[in-house]
């Protein structure tokens, strides 16, 4: 089955700097890659997603890149702000009706 | 759009009692709902997938008689933890997927269960 690896497990960046979280997946049939942000005591919130027919997607300060050949995808957050502090999960899914497999999460700390 | 609610947000119960958690999709019809469990500082673990009007599909290692799931309508799914024990204490999160397919899951805010 699918296996999603996520790195780093913890990341601290200075406010205003960029943060990058990387994930790899094992199943070449996976074609949908969402990213979730989870704040303490809350459920995950979808922040951006990318499908396998696209190499990059951007939404304001957040961007995601996908390399299908290498089977890895990354989340980029620019101009980080204190409210970006949270746990971020990457995930992968094979098809329309297939379940989502989550990475183990990255705890992002934005330092003042 | 795509709001999912859970009730209660937290619950404390005595060992041996049963607890019911509700998951509702407020502004869309959820053909499929998922139930996850999350331990502190860990990732989400899928427990089961439920389709409206049919039996839930449980992941390996999840006791279906312990965690009863009902998905009676397109906007409501319930998870009942039967005969709860302290090891069932956890953060339970549901998600809902609609006509866009299972990939587009929207998560509820979670329910924290503490069994004494």
Residue B101 has pLDDT above 60, yes or no: no
- Given pLDDT bands bounded at 50, 70 and 90, which one contains residue A53? confident
- Confidence (pLDDT) at B1: 63
Report the side by side order of strands in the sheet with A62-67. A4-7, A19-25, A72-77, A62-67, A56-59
Q: Do the Cβ atoms of A100 and B101 come within 8 Å?
A: no
Q: In chain B, which residues have their Cβ closer than 8 Å to the Cβ of A44?
A: 44, 93, 107
* Chain-chain contact of A43 with B6 (C-beta, under 8 angstroms): yes
Which value, in Å, is the radius of gyration of the alpha carbons in chain B?
13
**Residue A85 CB contacts under 8 Å (≥ 6 apart), including other chains:** A108, A109, A110
Could you tell me what percent of chain B has a pLDDT over 90?
Answer: 70
- Closest Cα in chain A, distance from residue B38 (Å): 10
Look at residue B102 and tell me whether its pLDDT is greater than 60. no
Q: Does B103 touch chain A (CB under 8 A)?
A: yes
Dihedral-angle region of residue B80 (phi above 0 means left; psi in -120 to 50 means alpha; beta otherwise): beta
Give the separation between CA A53 and CA A50, rounded to whole angstroms: 8
pLDDT tens, B30-70? 888 999 999 988 899 999 999 888 889 999 999 999 999 99
Band (A97; pLDDT cuts 50, 70, 90): low
């Amino acid at each position: 089955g699918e296996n999603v690896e996520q790195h780093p497990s913890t990341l601290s960046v200075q406010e205003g700097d960029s943060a990058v979280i990387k994930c790899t997946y094992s199943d070449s049939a996976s074609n949908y890659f969402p990213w979730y942000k989870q704040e303490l005591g809350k459920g995950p919130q979808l922040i951006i997603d990318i499908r396998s027919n696209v190499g990059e997607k951007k939404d304001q300060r957040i961007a995601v890149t996908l390399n299908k050949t290498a089977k890895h995808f990354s989340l980029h957050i620019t101009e980080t702000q204190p409210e970006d502090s949270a746990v971020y999960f990457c995930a992968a899914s094979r098809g329309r009706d297939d379940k989502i497999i989550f990475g183990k999460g990255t705890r992002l700390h934005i330092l003042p | 759009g795509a709001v999912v609610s859970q009730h209660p947000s937290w619950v404390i119960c005595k060992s041996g009692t049963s607890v019911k958690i509700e998951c509702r999709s407020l502004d869309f019809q959820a053909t499929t709902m998922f139930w996850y469990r999350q331990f502190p500082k860990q990732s989400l673990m899928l427990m089961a997938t439920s389709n409206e009007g049919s039996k839930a599909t449980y992941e390996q290692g999840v006791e279906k008689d312990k965690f009863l799931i009902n998905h009676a309508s397109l906007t409501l799914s319930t998870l009942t933890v039967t005969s709860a024990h302290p090891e069932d204490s956890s953060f339970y999160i549901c998600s809902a997927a609609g006509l866009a397919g299972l990939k587009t899951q929207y998560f509820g805010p979670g329910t924290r269960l503490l069994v004494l």
